[in-house]
Amino acid sequence: MYSYFSGFIPYGNILKKFTLILVGFSRNGGDMSDLEIHSAYGRVTSVKELGLKIRSKRKYLGLTLENAAGLSGIGTRYLSELERGKKTIELGKALRVMNSLGLDLIVKPKGGIRDRGHHA
């Protein structure tokens, strides 16, 4: 399992970009447990569910709100509101958070039915 984190850290009066690659990383020293997989991954039908999945992945990685916000280049308040399911989130920022935590957003037809003329 690989986990990639990039972000900026203060260095004097400037911000330095960094990338951290964790190989074989897991909070419990092995693969994610079934409960962790269930809570971090799966279908999302509301902003609240998205927020809960983001929080679950952040906690699985052992990151504080401050650390995860810094890695994502967003504010702690925004991340807190996202995790609590605030309905007026900015999608671009939410996608940055998901990317920094190693989560993907996949769009597919409901029920697995393919759109005519478009193949997944």
d(CA 15, CA 83): 26
Domain membership of residue 19 (yes or no) is: no
**Which value, to the nearest 10 degrees, does the dihedral of the CA atoms of residues 51, 54, 58, 59 take?**
60
Domain membership of residue 12 (yes or no) is: no
- Overall size of the chain counted in residues: 120
d(CA 8, CA 41): 27
d(CA 37, CA 31): 9
Domain membership of residue 95 (yes or no) is: yes
d(CA 1, CA 87): 32
Read off the pLDDT band of 2 (50, 70, 90): very low
Domain membership of residue 47 (yes or no) is: yes
- Domain count within the chain: 1
Predicted pLDDT at 19:
56
Domain membership of residue 18 (yes or no) is: no
Q: If 0-12 CB within 10 Å is exposed, 13-18 middle and 19+ buried, where does residue 75 land?
A: middle
| Overall average pLDDT of the 24-31 stretch | 44
SS3 content of the chain, % helix, strand, coil (to 5): 40, 15, 40
Domain span including residue 38: 31-112
Q: Is the pLDDT of residue 83 over 80?
A: yes
| Overall average pLDDT of the 39-52 stretch | 85
Predicted pLDDT at 6:
58
Query: Residue 83 in contact with residue 64, Cβ under 8 Å?
Result: no
The CATH number of residue 70's host domain is 1.10.260.40
Domain membership of residue 61 (yes or no) is: yes
Domain membership of residue 38 (yes or no) is: yes
Predicted pLDDT at 117:
56
